Amino acid sequence: MPRSIEANEKIKQERRERILTGALELFVRNGLSGTKITDVAQKTKMSNGLVYHYFSSKEEIFIELIRVAFERMIEACKALESAKLDPHVKIKYAIDELAKTIRSNPNACLYHVLIAQAATCDNIPDKAKELIAANRAKPYEVITGIISRGQKLKTIREGSAKDLAFFFWNTVNGLATHQAMYGKSAQSPHLEPIYHMYFQDGE
Amino acid sequence: MPRSIEANEKIKQERRERILTGALELFVRNGLSGTKITDVAQKTKMSNGLVYHYFSSKEEIFIELIRVAFERMIEACKALESAKLDPHVKIKYAIDELAKTIRSNPNACLYHVLIAQAATCDNIPDKAKELIAANRAKPYEVITGIISRGQKLKTIREGSAKDLAFFFWNTVNGLATHQAMYGKSAQSPHLEPIYHMYFQDGE
DNA sequence: GTCTATATCCAGATAGAC
DNA sequence: GTCTATCTGGATATAGAC
């Protein structure tokens, strides 16, 4: 019965997805240790045991989420890096796109918050720490690089490019956290104040 | 023996302080549910049971920390509100003072982070939620008010005062989180980019 | 006031039926 | 593949000695 093997594989993937999506929201709201397997099971309408059929432990779910979060983040960074845009346009584009994604894609939003939170936590699996250590710098480097180039061209304000990159990601984290907390009901802040950090007036 | 009663009272206060300080750091790094009473006991060099002599539960410690955190925050807000400064000077002053405190006072810094984290969490005691609900808006209102007045005087950029206040506190949270994570080893970002959100060049 | 020992409970993870 | 029942460990909180 080759047909059913294929179908099973599909179910398997769908189940894993459901667990990951449900756990993501719970981890963001309650943290790793604050989330019980029972919570994940309830949220995904599965039994306790079934969750363990797809993941060998709660931590494994967490690690997988962190892995995917960085995978997407790094991918987006690379796309941004290689885009054919002037640096100052690129920065504005990055802000706008990230804000748009955060507002329209709850899942992507939660991934941002997960990374932000995980980076400040001590009691997460070693594997997750390794992933964070290995990937954390990349987004900062990309933004720092773009800003530096813009500064050489005088289209981005002078000042420490690293600091500007820090505030860039801090803004993104803040928007994501805000959106994750208040959801659609929240009025999303306008981004003009952020532009002013990077660009002269009239840009 | 009235002398020893007095002395005991002093010990009691000192012990409570030690527990609160130790727990604060642990809660920030590991979250409420990620922090075990044993961790608190170890960090404060007390026995497990002694901690329970001063606080009836882990959650009570947490609630007390949230209470103190807001108490200080609100106090600082009121002081700022009633200061005799032009609005735009006041905003710059607030940014500078908050940044300075965060950099030089690890404890104050952790209080900022605790509030920021707690506000996004679901699995905290009801009492803590109430405290957050009751106090959360105040700091935003204060900053929004100052900005509005500055905008009327044309010394602060136009735009949604609420949004500017949002970015204000997001910046503070980001600086505090950064400082709490990397401590003294971290290079603290320069604040010029932040000023640009609020003030025209040449201010 | 402080400690050790322990009761109790709950969450993570497994086993085995269906 | 899915469920229920259960084992096991560890964490909260308490009791009682000093």
Report the CATH number at residue A86. 1.10.357.10
**Full-model pTM:** 0.97
Among chain B, residues having any CB pair with chain A shorter than 8 Å are 28-34, 113, 117, 119-123, 157, 159-160, 162-164, 166-167, 170-171, 173-174, 177-178, 180-181, 187, 189-190, 192-194, 196-198, 200-201
The boundaries of the domain holding residue B194 are 5-198
B157 domain-assigned: yes
- CA–CA dist A177, B188 (Å, integer): 23
Question: Chain A contacts of B197, Cβ < 8 Å?
Answer: 193-194, 196-197
| DSSP 8-state secondary structure symbol assigned to residue A32 | T
pLDDT in tens, B176-188: 999 999 988 988 9
Q: What is the mean pLDDT of residues B95-107?
A: 98
Closest by CA to A158, choosing from B198, B174, B193, B70, is B193
- pLDDT (mean) for B101-121: 98
Q: Tell me, what's the pLDDT at B4?
A: 81
Whether the predicted pLDDT of B55 surpasses 80: yes
In a domain, B68, yes or no: yes
- Cα angle for residues A158, A161, A165 (degrees, 5° grid): 125
pLDDT value of residue B6: 87
Supply the Cα-derived Rg of chain A in whole angstroms. Answer: 19
Measured between alpha carbons, how far is A10 from A27 in angstroms, rounded to an integer?
A: 26
Across B154-183, average pLDDT: 97
Confidence band of B2 (pLDDT split at 50, 70, 90): low
* Whole-number pLDDT of residue A187: 87
A27 → chain B, closest CA residue: B121
Task: List alpha helices for chain A, DSSP H.
Answer: 2-30, 37-43, 48-54, 58-82, 87-104, 106-118, 126-135, 137-152, 161-182, 192-198
For chain B, the average pLDDT equals: 96
Model pLDDT, residue A6: 87
Residue B41 has pLDDT above 70, yes or no: yes
Residue B104, pLDDT score:
96
Contact predicate B203/B155, CB 8 Å: yes
Residue B203 lies in a domain: no
Confidence (pLDDT) at B1: 55
Q: Which two tokens stand for residue B123?
A: 């699995």
Question: Which nucleotide lies at the shortest CA–C1' distance from B50?
Answer: C2
Pairwise CA distance, residues B142 & B137, whole Å: 9
Q: How many domains does chain A have?
A: 1
- Look at residue B184 in the predicted model and tell me its pLDDT: 85
| Yes or no, beta carbons of A167 and B201 under 8 Å apart | no
Is B68 strand, coil or helix?
A: helix
Q: How far apart are CA A144 and CA A163, in angstroms?
A: 8
- Rg of chain B over Cα atoms, rounded to whole angstroms, equals 19
Task: Sort B49 into a burial class: Cβ within 10 Å, 0-12 / 13-18 / 19+.
Answer: exposed
Residue B182 within a domain: yes
Distance CA B2, CA A197 (A): 62
Q: What is the pLDDT of residue B202?
A: 58
Assess if residue B81 is contained within a domain. yes
A203: in domain: no
Q: What is the mean pLDDT of each run of 10 residues along chain A (203 residues)?
A: 79 96 98 98 98 98 98 98 98 98 98 98 98 98 98 98 98 98 91 98 63
Decide if A131 is inside a domain. Answer: yes
How distant, in Å, are the alpha carbons of B35, B45, B113 from that of A181?
A: 23, 37, 16
In a domain, A125, yes or no: yes
